[in-house]
A = this chain, B = another copy of it.
């Protein structure tokens, strides 16, 4: 029986696990893979690192940090189902666990455009984060892929850097209202460019672009959460209170899967705050 089972090995999950371990709770982290952050090629805005690093480097460093402090981390193991309540029964592709508390820290999934050029041009004009990379494309021609709330949030960031923004809904109907920007609803067929993004082809047109931002992320843990009876927002984010508790007793969530600012800084803080709340939950006050 674990005190806390953390699903996710990124900034939120590992930050929480480090604190939980310090509180002498019995904690295990189950992490499937490097997640969306693992695809980042250039992290510069997370405090404390003089030189840029890749998402994979940061995650590996965090995993090593947790292990050094004694946290049990099962990397490469996938949670398939979570049932019951206090204790929760967590089934993975390798084993079954019992835990008094489950913390979902599963991040956001990044969409694949499934068009030619998408994979090779990531980090070469194709970006997933306006706050991180928008400044690179000041007054440049920016494409923004998305049709909903996330697109609108990215637009709000990107318009700080350029007025030349074209929205591509990639065949989806536009679900939000945008003014002053061209909206192309045709499906995207191909991204153009070898070393750097040069533009894209839709079914009927071609567009010259310096950057293409993908804004169609979805939280990856909401399926678990919904099946467990937890509330999620219309954007599919897991609803938590200021103590990072969902409406299901003993089920907590932190980091990108709860929405808000999709930045490492926020995920790390979420993990720390959630761990304190979980510690208080597991150790009722005696004085």
Contact = CB atoms under 8 A, between A and B. Distances in A.
Interface of A: 11, 14-15, 18-19, 22-24, 44-51, 58, 61-62, 64-65, 68-69, 131-132, 134-135, 138, 156, 159-161, 178-181, 261, 263-266, 268-273, 276, 279, 283, 285-287
Closest 4 CB pairs of A and B: A269-B269, A50-B64, A265-B272, A15-B47
Given A22-B131, A48-B48, A265-B268, 5 more contacts: A19-B45, A47-B62, A48-B61, A48-B62, A181-B287
Copies in the complex: 2
Contacts of A269: 261, 263, 265-266, 268-270
A287 B131 contact: no
14 contacts: A15-B47, A44-B69, A46-B48, A47-B62, A47-B268, A48-B48, A48-B58, A48-B268, A51-B68, A159-B287, A160-B283, A261-B276, A263-B272, A268-B268
Contacts of A279: 160
- Residue picked from A47, A51, A264, most chain B C-beta under 10 Å: A47
Nearest to A280: B156
A68 B160 CA distance: 22
Contacts of A283: 160
B268 A261 contact: no
Contacts of A287: 159, 178-181
B18 A45 contact: yes
A64 B285 CA distance: 43
Nearest to A179: B287
Contacts of A178: 287
Contacts of A11: 47-48
A110 B283 CA distance: 29
Contact of A273 (B24, B159, B266): B266
